[in-house]
Structure formats: structure tokens, C-alpha cells
Amino acid sequence: EAGVTQSPTHLIKTRGQQATLRCSPISGHTSVYWYQQALGLGLQFLLWYDEGEERNRGNFPPRFSGRQFPNYSSELNVNALELEDSALYLCASSLAFGGVNEKLFFGSGTQLSVL
């Protein structure tokens, strides 16, 4: 069974551009989560989607946005890129909304570099 897949693996952009990151959850998983892992800051919660709806977002500016498609895959968009957006962006999926004790399964991430 395929795990959580993310694309691209690496993404290089310049300041002010837009970045689009993609995530495919494990088959049968309806919840998708996005986390940012920046050097020195650790893992920070970005967004949670379930059944196509945004359920929660972390303390990030509105230029971080996303969506979840009918097939439960998800996209994270970062507009007006800033140098400090350089980080590893991790996507995770789990079985069900409300299942607080469902394990999260993470992808390998997209390394975003903003020059």
C-alpha cells in the first residue's frame, strides 16, 4: 500500500513568487494535515483538511492557503514568497475526522527554498 506522497521533492523559487505543493494521502484517509519545519523553529502546524473542508489553521498569514479535492488529495499554496518561508513542508494523513487517537502518517516532504 502506498504511503503519503508529496510533490515536488524540491522546489526553488524567488522572493515574491508563488509556490504550490501537492499531497496524496494514504488510500482511505480523509484527513490531511500540513506542517512547516523550518531550521531552528521545529514543526509548526499549518492547516488541517477533512472531507474537503478546512477544519483548523495555525498561526500563519493568509498568504498560506490550501484546499482538499474530492479524492482527498491536497494542495498547499504559498503566495508572495518570503525568504523565511524556506523550510521542509510535511503533509500527513489520518483515517477520520474526530478520531483524535488516529495515528498520523507523514510524507517525505517538499523542501522549499526561497532565494
Partner 1 sequence: KQEVTQIPAALSVPEGENLVLNCSFTDSAIYNLQWFRQDPGKGLTSLLLIQSSQREQTSGRLNASLDKSSGRSTLYIAASQPGDSATYLCASGGGSSNTGKLIFGQGTTLQVKP
- The contact set with partner 1 (CB under 8 A) reads 4, 31, 33, 42-43, 45, 48, 50, 55-56, 58, 88, 90, 92, 97-98, 100-101, 103-109, 111
Q: How far is the CB of 59 from partner 1 (least distance, A)?
A: 11
- Which residue, 6 or 78, is less far from partner 1 as judged by CB? 6
- Which residue, 31 or 85, is less far from partner 1 as judged by CB? 31
Q: Cβ distance 86 to 113 under 8 Å?
A: yes
Q: How far is the CB of 9 from partner 1 (least distance, A)?
A: 10
Q: Cα–Cα distance between 11 and 52 in angstroms, integer?
A: 25
- Which residue, 43 or 115, is less far from partner 1 as judged by CB? 43
SS3 content of the chain, % helix, strand, coil (to 5): 5, 50, 45
Q: How far is the CB of 58 from partner 1 (least distance, A)?
A: 7
Q: Cβ distance 61 to 84 under 8 Å?
A: no
